[in-house]
Every structure is written in structure tokens, then in C-alpha cells.
Amino acid sequence: MAGVPGTPGLAGVEIVSVQGNVITSGLATSSATAPCPGTKKAIGGGHGIDNIGGGTFSALLTFTSAPVVNNTGWSVSVTGQSSDDWAVRAYAVCATVAP
């Protein structure tokens, strides 16, 4: 015999990613926001680095990696120094969340 159904949890989990502004070498900041589609909420997130030109990094510093207002996406900002083109990539783990 089945028990009493529990409260709804998560549904429709998906990962959204957005590339930030491209830095063309030197010391600069790249920022990006990955928005969740529709009414989905960010239940997690993070970032990566797109090493577009294949250069080498002498420094990387994450300034921001956090959900945006009302958990509708994930925002990141990274300052780095590289010998070639690069950009930050924001990732949001989005889902429909039960009230």
C-alpha cells in the first residue's frame, strides 16, 4: 500500500550558460548573467573560463558568483590577466520549485 504523497519538490531541472564580454588580453573584468527561463528559479550556479585565444593566465580573481534578485538566474564577475582573449561563462542550475 502506498503512503501519503509528500510535498512537491523540484521539476524540470536544466543548466543555462551565458558567455560574458570577451577580454582581448591584459588585465580586465568579464561579467555574465545566466537567466533562468520562464518562472524557474536558480537552485545553484557557478562559472568557468572560456580561453578563446589559448593564451596563459597570470591571475584570476572571482569578484562575484551569486544568485540574482529573486533567484531568477546566476551572476558572475571575474578579473583576470591573460596573454590572449578570454571570457567568463556563467552557469545557472534552474528548476521549477514548489511553493
2-60 pLDDT per residue, tens: 888 877 788 999 999 999 999 987 889 999 999 999 999 999 999 999 998 888 888 78
Tell whether 23 is covered by a domain: yes
Q: Using only the alpha carbons of the chain, give its radius of gyration.
A: 17
Quick one: which of 49, 38, 62 has its CA closest to 88?
A: 49
Q: Does residue 25 form part of some domain? A: yes
Q: Is residue 2 in a domain?
A: no
pTM value > 0.85: yes
The answer to the question of residue 5 being in a domain is no
Domain count, the chain: 1
Sequence-ordered list of residues with C-beta below 8 angstroms from that of 5, at least 6 positions apart, any chain: none
Is the residue at 3 inside a domain?
no
How far apart are the C-alpha atoms of 85 and 99, rounded to whole Å? Answer: 43
Look up the domain containing 60 and give its range. 10-97
Our measurement of the distance from residue 67's CA atom to the centroid of its chain's CA atoms, rounded to an integer in Å, reads 9
CB contact at 8 A, 74 and 66: yes
